[in-house]
Structure 1
Amino acid sequence: MTKTLNLLTSLFMFFLLLGSNSSYSAGGHDGHDDEHQTKAAEGPQGGRLLTEANFAIEVTIFETNIPAEMRLYAYADGKPVEPDALTAKVTLQRLDGQQDDIQFSAEQRYLVSDISIAEPHSYSVDVNVEYQGKHYHWHYDSFEGRVELNERIMGLTGIATDIANSQTLTQKTHLFGVISAPPTARFNVRVPYSGIVSQVLVQQGDAVSKGQLLARVSNKTTLKQYDIISPAAGVVTERFFNNNELILDEILFSIADYRQLYVELSAFPNDIQQLRLDMPVTVFSLHHGETASSSISYIAPQMTEGHIARVRAVISNSSGYWRPGMHVEATVLTAEIPVALAVKKSAIQRYRDMPVVFARYGNTFEVRMLQFGREDDDYIEVTSGLKPGTEYATANSFVLKADVLKSGASHAH
């Protein structure tokens, strides 16, 4: 509940500041315009139309069922120009300083780029064309998924950042279970002869040591008194007789040694496939946040009728905190996987139906479309879309997404 309130507060503060602060900006994308900017001229193919005198170049991005490529259409006096009648070069300058130099070759009725145009399609563009001995040059900005804000606004909206680098993924399986006492931890103290309990020296709940005197019993026949001693260290869990009572071949006390306890865990079939003996286990109390460390000592060879297999770990209980019957949660460390690049899962937003993070360059944030690999509870491997060492928004990145969406930026080509 507290986390939800914090998010709502951050979002409210963001839009309140947005209404009174002009330092925010988000751009459109190639013909990718927004409501705050003058709409760029559009050509017959739906791309950005660049004109000089009677000559024009239309810049488009084609990405239907193929990797995105840039296509240039040429026009002279309003009529199409054959693509082999001109040469062209386009330079894309990206926010992170990367420069893409693009050459073109003739194909059908257009020039096609020699490289794929990587996401995001957000860059400053320089277009250079040679046609009939004349050189043409255009420059324009085509931004998308970009937000600018200063340190003060970042602090007020709670945006935090981190550096994307290598990580060791710690893959875990989460199980639930209950604490129980090992069968060898229970001791029933009987009298060797029938007799009268002459003296009981301990009470239920008392801690006792091995060899400690627990009671005295008088033999019924000989009237000889003999001592009853504890067979082990532990706690008196049951006391069945009082002074001066007759006892036959019966249990006088029950004693339990809880210095070591079982953690009996329930594992479903999908969990069992990942588990092995000796894997590290961390046990969590569901009540007070106490933890204990152990390893898997037993995996049942059969499933129960509920399609659950029993998995066991043994924990030390020298503090006496853990008690049989307590319900617990446990995480089993199933794998540690070094990866070259990973980001926090909390940083991920969706933009144009793709998972993204917001990379930071100075006071500007811009989306980075990512491809993912393996993951753990907190981090996910990045296989493409982000450079190592990039600073990115980790907390409250939804504020950045909200501003991008508010700007009305589109991805039309």
Structure 2
Amino acid sequence: MKRLSLLLAAFLPLAALAHEGHVHGPGETEAIATGPVVLSEEAIKNLGVQTVEANLAPLQRTIAMIGRIEGLPERLAKIAPRAEGRVAEIFVKLGDRVTAGQPMLRFEPRTVGNPPVILNSPINGFVVRQEASLGQALNPDTVLMEVADYSQVLARGMTFESPDLSLIKPGQNARVRLDVFPARLFEGKVQRLDVGLERESRTFEVYVLLDNPELQLRPNMQASVAIAIGDPQEVLAVPQRAVLGDLGNLFVFVRDGNTFERRNVVIGMKAGDQVEIVEGVLPGDNVVTEAQYQLQFATSPAKKAEAVESHGEDGHAHGSEKSEHKHMPTWLWALGGFVIGGVVFGLLLRRGRSEEAEVR
């Protein structure tokens, strides 16, 4: 039994080795990089980083509205017969471009002896409605076609009740941005506006006249309308897309060479796609406008190396000494200990029985 005790005492240190080389303690995580981020030219190119210089610019306070494009009522013509009859011939189709005086269709009056009548377009424009069919019976109030001129259109903006509504006047400058052309800004003027609020929706509508020489603006396109009110003021401004974060915790990224610094900012008035920076950016700073979202998660190569080295020192060393051997999993140490213990115990048990037999 004395020998058994000595062997067990020699085996116990093996169990302690199972703890040596333990890597991660509870709650240990990879360090998060903070402070300015330094990137290589290749990384900057891959991210597609773009910047603009923050400068003083004249901004006016604006009222923002949701809106859509509509045709002008005074540039819409309806084609209808003045007597009963039937359609005998159709000269145009939906979408055709027509000129004032161009024949649209021919119909035969019901009254015997009356000659056929040609209906012409009263304006230049496009056929936007075509309801006529050959042999169709006609009444004087039957609208057969519509022609619209879209060389100018209206952006109808809608907003809710506000004290600022009294500041909107015909002739004021307005800017319109369309969902289908997000990079383009269309400028126009307020042409007409409601005299009161809609009874049910409590909304107020403003109509902005826009030139449309390329006919890119079509009815029912979704738009956002911004109407300038007040006098312009010289303020430090940047594009609104450069500002990230939530209200009360806004920030931008400022580039200096290959270094990108995150700065908290305070904003002021907004005008179109520009926003006033009250605090956090200086004139001449290069503010990131593209890839700013990715920069939130970027880490400098040097900081990555420091994090790896620090992680190794904290996780692989006890005290001030670093572990110099490869660590085996704890469960493997435990399994080896149990196997060795079983073998030793079996040998000792067998030896003890042999000694008892000799004594007898």
Name the TM-score class by shorter chain: 0.5 to 0.7
User: Which residue is 2:345 aligned to?
Assistant: none
Structure 1 residue 255 displacement after superposition: 1.7
What is the CA–CA distance in structure 2 between the aligned matches of 1:358 and 1:321, rounded to whole Å?
Answer: 35
CA shift digits 1:56-108 (9 cap, x unpaired)? xxxxxxxxxxxxxxxxxxxxxxxxxxxxxxxxxxxxxxxxxxxxxxxxxxxxx
Any residues of structure 2 matched to 1:23-102 within 5 Å, and which? none
User: Which residue is 2:146 aligned to?
Assistant: 255
What is the CA–CA distance in structure 1 between the aligned matches of 2:255 and 2:131, rounded to whole Å?
Answer: 69
What is the CA–CA distance in structure 2 between the aligned matches of 1:182 and 1:247, rounded to whole Å?
Answer: 28
User: Which residue is 1:326 aligned to?
Assistant: 221
Picking from 178, 203, 207, the partner of 1:312 is 207
User: Which residue is 1:239 aligned to?
Assistant: 131
What is the CA–CA distance in structure 1 between the aligned matches of 2:119 and 2:131, rounded to whole Å?
Answer: 13
Structure 2 residues not aligned, in runs of 5+: 1-29, 311-360
What is the CA–CA distance in structure 2 between the aligned matches of 1:194 and 1:234, rounded to whole Å?
Answer: 27
- Taking a change above 3 Å as real, the CA distance of residues 252 and 310 of structure 1, as seen in their structure-2 partners, is closer
Structure 1 residue 312 displacement after superposition: 0.5
Higher helix content, 1 or 2: 2
Please tell me whether residue 200 in structure 1 is matched to residue 90 in structure 2: yes
Please tell me whether residue 295 in structure 1 is matched to residue 189 in structure 2: yes
User: Which residue is 2:165 aligned to?
Assistant: 272
Structure 1 residue 274 displacement after superposition: 5.4
Are the counterparts in 1 of residues 121 and 147 from structure 2 also a CA contact under 8 Å?
no
Structure 1 residue 310 displacement after superposition: 0.5
Higher strand content, 1 or 2: 1
Structure 1 residue 285 displacement after superposition: 2.7
- Taking a change above 3 Å as real, the CA distance of residues 278 and 255 of structure 1, as seen in their structure-2 partners, is same
User: Which residue is 1:284 aligned to?
Assistant: 177
Query: Quick one: which amino acid aligns to residue 300 of structure 1?
Result: D
Are the counterparts in 1 of residues 100 and 122 from structure 2 also a CA contact under 8 Å?
yes
Please tell me whether residue 230 in structure 1 is matched to residue 121 in structure 2: yes
Structure 1 residue 314 displacement after superposition: 2.1
What is the CA–CA distance in structure 1 between the aligned matches of 2:262 and 2:84, rounded to whole Å?
Answer: 84
User: Which residue is 1:78 aligned to?
Assistant: none
Are the counterparts in 1 of residues 89 and 105 from structure 2 also a CA contact under 8 Å?
yes
SS of alignment partner, residue 214 of structure 1: strand
Q: In terms of Rg, which structure is larger?
A: 2
SS of alignment partner, residue 144 of structure 2: strand
Structure 1 residue 306 displacement after superposition: 1.9
What is the CA–CA distance in structure 1 between the aligned matches of 2:97 and 2:167, rounded to whole Å?
Answer: 41
Are the counterparts in 1 of residues 87 and 138 from structure 2 also a CA contact under 8 Å?
yes
Picking from 315, 318, 338, the partner of 2:234 is 338
What is the CA–CA distance in structure 1 between the aligned matches of 2:93 and 2:255, rounded to whole Å?
Answer: 67
Aligned residues: 261
Structure 1 residue 211 displacement after superposition: 1.0
Query: Quick one: which amino acid aligns to residue 257 of structure 1?
Result: A
What is the CA–CA distance in structure 1 between the aligned matches of 2:219 and 2:83, rounded to whole Å?
Answer: 33
Are the counterparts in 1 of residues 91 and 103 from structure 2 also a CA contact under 8 Å?
yes
CA shift digits 1:222-261 (9 cap, x unpaired)? 1423332222223331233414x54343436222313233
CA shift digits 1:36-67 (9 cap, x unpaired)? xxxxxxxxxxxxxxxxxxxxxxxxxxxxxxxx
What is the CA–CA distance in structure 1 between the aligned matches of 2:258 and 2:215, rounded to whole Å?
Answer: 54
Q: What RMSD over aligned residues (CA atoms) do the two structures have, in Å? A: 4.7
Structure 1 residue 266 displacement after superposition: 0.5
Are the counterparts in 1 of residues 37 and 298 from structure 2 also a CA contact under 8 Å?
no
Structure 1 residue 263 displacement after superposition: 1.8
- Taking a change above 3 Å as real, the CA distance of residues 285 and 196 of structure 1, as seen in their structure-2 partners, is same
Are the counterparts in 2 of residues 343 and 382 from structure 1 also a CA contact under 8 Å?
no
What is the CA–CA distance in structure 2 between the aligned matches of 1:297 and 1:190, rounded to whole Å?
Answer: 30
Structure 1 residue 207 displacement after superposition: 2.7
Structure 1 residue 205 displacement after superposition: 3.4
Are the counterparts in 1 of residues 243 and 250 from structure 2 also a CA contact under 8 Å?
no
User: Which residue is 1:44 aligned to?
Assistant: none
Q: TM-score, normalised by structure 2?
A: 0.53
Are the counterparts in 1 of residues 61 and 269 from structure 2 also a CA contact under 8 Å?
no
What is the CA–CA distance in structure 2 between the aligned matches of 1:267 and 1:300, rounded to whole Å?
Answer: 11
User: Which residue is 2:99 aligned to?
Assistant: 209
- Taking a change above 3 Å as real, the CA distance of residues 195 and 338 of structure 1, as seen in their structure-2 partners, is same
What is the CA–CA distance in structure 2 between the aligned matches of 1:320 and 1:392, rounded to whole Å?
Answer: 35
Query: Quick one: which amino acid aligns to residue 265 of structure 1?
Result: G
Identity %: 20
SS of alignment partner, residue 220 of structure 2: coil
What is the CA–CA distance in structure 2 between the aligned matches of 1:401 and 1:183, rounded to whole Å?
Answer: 57
SS of alignment partner, residue 74 of structure 2: helix
Structure 1 residues not aligned, in runs of 5+: 1-15, 27-145, 408-413
Structure 1 residue 188 displacement after superposition: 2.8
Q: 1 or 2 for the larger relative contact order (CA 8 Å, sep ≥6)?
A: 2
- Taking a change above 3 Å as real, the CA distance of residues 169 and 242 of structure 1, as seen in their structure-2 partners, is same
